[in-house]
């Protein structure tokens, strides 16, 4: 390619862009003369990619074509358009996403796309603009004003000199032309105003509380503010039982960061960003806080994001992807309920927002605070080994005891009745008693829908999803069978599709069924169901939770959506039904999850004046996860679980990678998997890793694809990555189709 001699040297003629595609590389484009000098790093670019046009992100500018370019330079293509004058992506986020993509053996372009508000590249999400009018001058002498013109000026003066265009039309009862005439004469100005959509517009805000911190809270806060003063990276684990006042510590720490001129971020689990909590934050921080979660409309989310980008909001609160919020000069990064599985993004690009948050703090020289009543095994291990500073809030506020927990052995109940019952008499009695006292109840189970699955009594077949190796769940509300993995729906059959028998039997209970049974047993109680089916629409969850908080409901029946974070002082009974099913699954974290879930939901009971009680129905009363959950004994659980992890070579002792090979054609997937296995063996000569598989994944078929799995266990992150990178390249060279291969570092489930 020849470059014209007249070109200014300073303006780069080539730009390297990453694209949101599963490729671990960037692409170089030429910048046409008219666009030179307009590209800043982090700006979105429209570029040709194959036959398509895509949005990419500028990550590097080159004055000349890089020497190590891999393709025929005469074929280099021009970029089509520069989408942003001011890049949406800050230098810090550019670096963070690059680090994240690398850490998770993932793709930078996909990570960048995930860091921006959803829909932003499709132009469906736009700023909301409205026309407005303001007074800018006085009418020049000599020329008289018409009656209508005078009316407009009077109206504007009465309204502070500035109004929406449509309001002027309506209230002055005039057409557009007198306004335009005034504009021409320089008396008013017509302009377009950017209207910010506020997710909390019109919300009633709570009164600010003015607590004196307890000694333990104060000690924790002091440690955090001292680290903030230090101005260097520091990580804390704030381990506080449920109701110990962690939130208050977070709020004061954020206040301190703001007061000392820095910004702050707080991550919360998917559904813990309760309406109550958002309102509380708004009442404390006003317009300084921006809220980012998936229940906002795309427009609201975009506007909240823009307020952060402009520096108008200096505190960002949000779920997983908010870890990439474009805050500048960040001083404090908080991750509440840091153990929560919703921090894990379960599809490409994989990442765990908790770990990215710590890295963000690290890159920015900021302070990270991970908080939990039930810290993840890895985090507690980091605290024990000194990587994190350990802060403890051992007691509930106000000297309240933790709720008393009892296990109900469902094997006993089965013997008594000679059949399975979903609700034990012990639990039913306790509900009746609680209701009589005017107190509230929460019932937790882990299945939505009506029944768990449909079984034919004649031939013994279960009804399975045609796309997945998984049983369908019966939803009675619309008489449908639903696959909870791929969302396949079908009408519930009258006859068994295998043998045409009419003896179809619905086994197990979901939220819908339990809520039904409870409504029948307690007709005077006002009961609401909280799960993904009932909360499908924006605002529904909020309404139910606010209603429950204000006493308009007596009982909530729900999935783990109700387990976390909520603070309902009048809840004195929590019933736990069948959350221990996970203990039967081949998952390295099933004990940890079960322990966490029960401890968290138990933490919802007895937060007010009255003591709380937790009844846990279980088929595994001797299991250590249940025994320690009953005692709410974290240390006891940790001590047993960490031995199990060490014995089996699991995290935190080993680093895991799960390599999933997926394809519609089993033979094709199998071929790729076998090539990969050989490549791993070849790459692993130093024996720093253990390679397991390929074997069918425990979900061996999903969404019409066969799934094979190879597990890699590394003694260190570095050796794991080295082996992985070498093996992937080698496998590709030997004909393995990498498009069928999904790599997940630090997988949460081994399923």
**Contact residues for Zn ion, defined by CB under 5 A:** 456, 458-459, 465, 467-468, 483, 485-486, 488, 496, 498-499, 501
Q: Which two tokens stand for residue 402?
A: 């933790």
Closer residue to ligand ADP (CB): 244 or 684: 244
Helix locations, 231-376, DSSP H: 246-259, 275-285, 298-309, 353-364
Closer residue to ligand ADP (CB): 214 or 492: 214
Closer residue to Zn ion (CB): 469 or 542: 469
Q: Which two tokens stand for residue 178?
A: 């007198």
CA–CA separation, 91 vs 336, rounded Å?
26
What separation in angstroms does the CA of 277 have from each of 349, 568, 598, 608? Answer: 29, 12, 22, 17
Q: Which does 31 bind (CB under 5 to 8 A by kind): Zn ion, ligand ADP, none?
A: none
* Cβ neighbours of residue 664 closer than 8 Å, sequence gap 6 or more: 704, 705, 706
Closer residue to ligand ADP (CB): 212 or 385: 212
Least Å from the CB of residue 247 to ligand ADP = 3
CA–CA separation, 171 vs 150, rounded Å?
13
Closer residue to ligand ADP (CB): 560 or 723: 560
Least Å from the CB of residue 654 to ligand ADP = 32
Least Å from the CB of residue 488 to Zn ion = 4
Closer residue to ligand ADP (CB): 170 or 609: 609
Least Å from the CB of residue 392 to ligand ADP = 12
Helix/strand/coil for 746: coil
* Cβ neighbours of residue 438 closer than 8 Å, sequence gap 6 or more: none
Least Å from the CB of residue 707 to Zn ion = 12
Closer residue to ligand ADP (CB): 337 or 554: 337
Q: Which does 578 bind (CB under 5 to 8 A by kind): Zn ion, ligand ADP, none?
A: none
Closer residue to Zn ion (CB): 162 or 469: 469
Residue 139 burial (CB count, 10 A): 15
Would you give the DSSP letter of residue 205? Answer: P
CB 106 within 8 A of CB 21: no
Q: Which two tokens stand for residue 258?
A: 């703001």
Q: Which does 694 bind (CB under 5 to 8 A by kind): ligand ADP, Zn ion, none?
A: none
Place of tokens 């790093």: 41
Q: Which does 218 bind (CB under 5 to 8 A by kind): Zn ion, ligand ADP, none?
A: none
Q: Which does 560 bind (CB under 5 to 8 A by kind): Zn ion, ligand ADP, none?
A: none
Cα–Cα nearest to 62, from 81, 79, 87, 80: 79
CA–CA separation, 18 vs 57, rounded Å?
5
Q: Which two tokens stand for residue 19?
A: 């694209």
Closer residue to Zn ion (CB): 498 or 718: 498
Q: Which two tokens stand for residue 276?
A: 């109550």
Closer residue to Zn ion (CB): 343 or 474: 474
Closer residue to ligand ADP (CB): 336 or 705: 336
Least Å from the CB of residue 483 to Zn ion = 3
CB 145 within 8 A of CB 129: no
CA–CA separation, 169 vs 182, rounded Å?
14
Q: Residue of minimal CB distance from ligand ADP?
A: 247
* Cβ neighbours of residue 322 closer than 8 Å, sequence gap 6 or more: 265, 267, 292, 293, 316, 353
Least Å from the CB of residue 592 to ligand ADP = 20
CA–CA separation, 43 vs 62, rounded Å?
15
CB 723 within 8 A of CB 680: yes
Least Å from the CB of residue 523 to ligand ADP = 32
Least Å from the CB of residue 704 to Zn ion = 8
CA–CA separation, 30 vs 144, rounded Å?
59
Least Å from the CB of residue 319 to ligand ADP = 17
Least Å from the CB of residue 345 to ligand ADP = 25
Q: Which does 214 bind (CB under 5 to 8 A by kind): ligand ADP, Zn ion, none?
A: ligand ADP
Closer residue to ligand ADP (CB): 26 or 242: 242
Q: How far is CA 657 from the centre of its chain?
A: 21
Least Å from the CB of residue 333 to ligand ADP = 17
Q: Which does 575 bind (CB under 5 to 8 A by kind): ligand ADP, Zn ion, none?
A: none
Closer residue to Zn ion (CB): 623 or 703: 703
CB 56 within 8 A of CB 68: no
Least Å from the CB of residue 336 to ligand ADP = 7
- In angstroms, the first-to-last Cα distance of the chain is 51
Helix/strand/coil for 628: helix
What separation in angstroms does the CA of 487 have from each of 466, 480, 483? Answer: 11, 11, 5
Would you give the DSSP letter of residue 261? Answer: T
Closer residue to Zn ion (CB): 351 or 453: 453
CA–CA separation, 114 vs 321, rounded Å?
7
* Cβ neighbours of residue 473 closer than 8 Å, sequence gap 6 or more: 447, 448, 449, 450, 451, 452, 453, 481, 482, 483, 484, 510
Q: Which does 243 bind (CB under 5 to 8 A by kind): ligand ADP, Zn ion, none?
A: ligand ADP
Q: Which does 501 bind (CB under 5 to 8 A by kind): Zn ion, ligand ADP, none?
A: Zn ion
Q: Which does 98 bind (CB under 5 to 8 A by kind): ligand ADP, Zn ion, none?
A: none
Cα–Cα nearest to 408, from 397, 419, 394, 424: 424
Residue 23 burial (CB count, 10 A): 15
Binding site for ligand ADP (CB under 6 A): 209, 211-214, 217, 240, 242-248, 397, 567
Q: Which does 498 bind (CB under 5 to 8 A by kind): Zn ion, ligand ADP, none?
A: Zn ion
Least Å from the CB of residue 164 to ligand ADP = 40
Least Å from the CB of residue 577 to ligand ADP = 23
Q: How big is the chain, counted in residues?
A: 751
* Cβ neighbours of residue 428 closer than 8 Å, sequence gap 6 or more: 521
CB 558 within 8 A of CB 529: yes
Closer residue to ligand ADP (CB): 30 or 221: 221
Q: Which does 251 bind (CB under 5 to 8 A by kind): Zn ion, ligand ADP, none?
A: none
């Amino acid at each position: 390619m020849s470059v014209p001699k007249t070109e200014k040297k300073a303006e780069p003629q080539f730009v390297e862009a990453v694209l949101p595609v599963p490729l671990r590389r960037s692409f170089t484009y030429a910048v046409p003369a008219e666009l030179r000098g307009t590209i800043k790093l982090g700006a979105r670019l429209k570029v040709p990619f194959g036959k398509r046009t895509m949005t990419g992100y500028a990550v590097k500018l080159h004055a000349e074509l890089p020497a190590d370019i891999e393709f025929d330079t005469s074929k280099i293509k021009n970029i089509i358009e520069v989408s942003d004058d001011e890049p949406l992506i800050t230098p810090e986020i550019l670096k963070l996403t690059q680090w994240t993509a690398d850490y998770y053996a993932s793709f930078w372009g996909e990570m960048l796309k995930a860091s921006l508000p959803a829909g932003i590249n499709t132009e469906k999400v736009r700023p909301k603009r409205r026309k407005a009018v303001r007074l800018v001058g006085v009418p020049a002498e000599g020329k008289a004003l018409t009656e209508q013109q005078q009316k407009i000026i009077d109206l504007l003066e009465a309204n502070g000199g500035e109004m929406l265009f449509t309001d002027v039309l309506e209230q002055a009862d005039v057409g557009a032309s007198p306004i335009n005439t005034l504009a021409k004469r320089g008396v008013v100005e017509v302009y377009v105003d950017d209207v910010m959509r506020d997710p909390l517009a019109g919300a009633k805000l709570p009164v600010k509380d003015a607590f004196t911190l307890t000694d333990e809270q104060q000690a924790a806060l002091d440690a955090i503010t001292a680290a903030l003063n230090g101005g260097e990276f520091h990580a804390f684990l704030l381990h506080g039982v449920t109701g110990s006042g962690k939130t208050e510590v977070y709020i004061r720490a954020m206040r301190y960061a703001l007061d000392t001129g820095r910004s702050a971020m707080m991550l919360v689990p998917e559904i813990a960003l309760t309406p109550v909590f958002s309102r509380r934050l708004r009442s404390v921080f006003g317009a300084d806080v921006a809220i980012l979660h998936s229940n906002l409309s795309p427009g609201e989310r975009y506007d909240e994001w823009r307020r952060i980008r402009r520096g108008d909001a200096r505190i960002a609160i949000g779920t997983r992807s908010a870890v990439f919020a474009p805050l500048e000069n960040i001083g404090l990064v908080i991750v509440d309920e840091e153990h929560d599985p919703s921090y894990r993004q379960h599809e490409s690009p994989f990442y765990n927002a908790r770990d990215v948050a710590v890295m963000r703090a690290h890159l920015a020289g900021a302070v990270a605070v991970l908080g939990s009543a039930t810290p993840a095994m890895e985090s507690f291990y980091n605290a024990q080994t000194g990587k994190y500073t350990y802060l403890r809030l051992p007691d509930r506020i106000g000297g309240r005891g933790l709720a008393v927990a009892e296990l109900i052995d469902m094997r006993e109940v089965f013997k008594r009745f000679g059949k399975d019952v979903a609700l034990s008499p012990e639990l039913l009695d306790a509900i009746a008693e609680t209701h009589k006292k005017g107190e509230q109840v929460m019932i937790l189970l882990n299945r939505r829908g009506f029944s768990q699955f449909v079984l034919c009594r004649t031939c013994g077949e279960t009804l399975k999803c045609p796309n997945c190796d998984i049983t369908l769940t019966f939803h009675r509300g619309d008489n449908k069978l639903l696959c909870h993995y791929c969302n396949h729906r079908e009408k519930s059959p009258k006859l068994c599709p295998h043998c045409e028998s009419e003896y179809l039997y619905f086994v197990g209970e979901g939220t819908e069924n339990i809520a039904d049974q409870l409504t029948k047993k307690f007709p005077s109680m006002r009961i609401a169901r909280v799960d993904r089916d009932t909360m499908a629409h924006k605002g529904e969850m909020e309404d139910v939770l606010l209603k429950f908080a204000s006493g308009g409901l007596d009982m909530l029946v729900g999935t783990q959506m109700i387990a976390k974070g909520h603070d309902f002082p009048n809840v004195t009974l929590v019933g736990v039904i069948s959350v221990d099913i996970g203990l039967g699954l081949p998952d390295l974290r099933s004990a940890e999850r079960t322990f966490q879930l029960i401890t968290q939901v138990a933490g919802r009971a007895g937060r007010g004046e009255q003591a709380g009680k937790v009844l846990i129905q279980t088929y595994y009363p001797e299991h250590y996860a249940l025994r320690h959950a009953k005692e709410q004994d974290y240390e006891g659980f940790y001590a047993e679980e960490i031995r199990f992890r060490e014995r089996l070579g699991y995290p935190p002792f080993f680093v895991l990678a799960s390599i999933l090979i997926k394809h519609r054609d089993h033979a094709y997937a199998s071929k790729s998997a076998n090539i990969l296995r050989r490549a791993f063996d070849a790459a692993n000569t130093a024996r720093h890793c253990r390679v397991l598989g390929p074997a069918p994944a425990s979900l061996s078929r999903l969404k019409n694809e066969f799934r094979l799995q190879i597990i890699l266990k590394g003694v260190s992150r570095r050796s794991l990555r080295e082996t992985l990178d070498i093996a992937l390249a080698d496998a590709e060279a030997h004909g393995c189709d990498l498009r069928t291969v999904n790599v997940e570092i630090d997988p949460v489930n081994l399923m």
